[in-house]
Homo-oligomer: A and B are copies of this chain.
Amino acid sequence: MEAKETLKAHIGKFVSLTGEQFDYFFSHFKPLSFKKGQVIIAEGDTVDCEYFVISGCLKSFFINDDLKMFILQFAMPTWWASDYNALYSQTKATINVDCITDAEVLALTNNDREKLCNELHIVEHFFRWRTNRGYVAAQKRLLSFMNNNVKYRYEELLKLYPELYNMVPKNLIAAYLGVSRETLSRL
């Protein structure tokens, strides 16, 4: 029931579903448990789900030709993660998603999301709102990238998500900030 309550609280922050509507909505999610290090989406995979994090921490990341890793997102509880480009346009994954810690998630298929959006206007409203927030956050991060040096971005990140400092190894934080682990280590 933990997972169901977490999702309900999350949705409830923006829209009001009746109990019946929420039960129906929830019935499309599939609970999954993963171990630390387990891969959820690998480059080249067909992507048909997005994942709502109940506990633990995921990362979505890109590996370039030099095998350098860039982290797009740390997904903490009540965050969503997937390769959205692949999911929305039904192409192969170019982004990977795996588990930084043991994690419990709720999986929702692209088809089910679209079905739910069609059947329940308010669910579509919720998902529009969610992506709006994601879009604004992505723009802010882009601006911060262009405007601020590494030190400032590191401090801002820790201010916003202090739990990352202990939860996530420094080399991953460096990969999120787009900087080498050596430079990060020198503050």
Contacts and interface: CB of A to CB of B under 8 A. Distances in A.
A139 B88 contact: no
A85 B72 CA distance: 20
Interface residues of A, number: 30
A84 B136 contact: yes
A88 to B, nearest CB: 6
Nearest to A72: B139
A139 B134 CA distance: 10
A115 interface: no
Contacts of A134: 135
Interface string A129-162: 0011111101111110111000000000000000
A158 to B, nearest CB: 19
B141 A70 contact: no
Contacts of A140: 85
Residue of A62, A124, A146 most packed against chain B (CB within 10 A): A146
Q: Which of A133, A136, A140 has the most CB of B within 10 A?
A: A136
B84 A139 contact: yes
| Interface residues of A, dominant DSSP | helix
Contacts of A68: 147
A9 to B, nearest CB: 21
Contacts of A31: none
Interface of A: 62, 64, 68, 70, 72, 84-85, 88, 117, 121, 124-125, 127-128, 131-136, 138-143, 145-147, 178
23 contacts: A70-B143, A70-B147, A72-B142, A72-B143, A84-B139, A85-B136, A85-B139, A88-B136, A117-B125, A117-B128, A121-B124, A124-B124, A128-B128, A128-B131, A131-B132, A134-B135, A135-B138, A138-B139, A142-B142, A145-B145, A145-B146, A145-B178, A146-B178
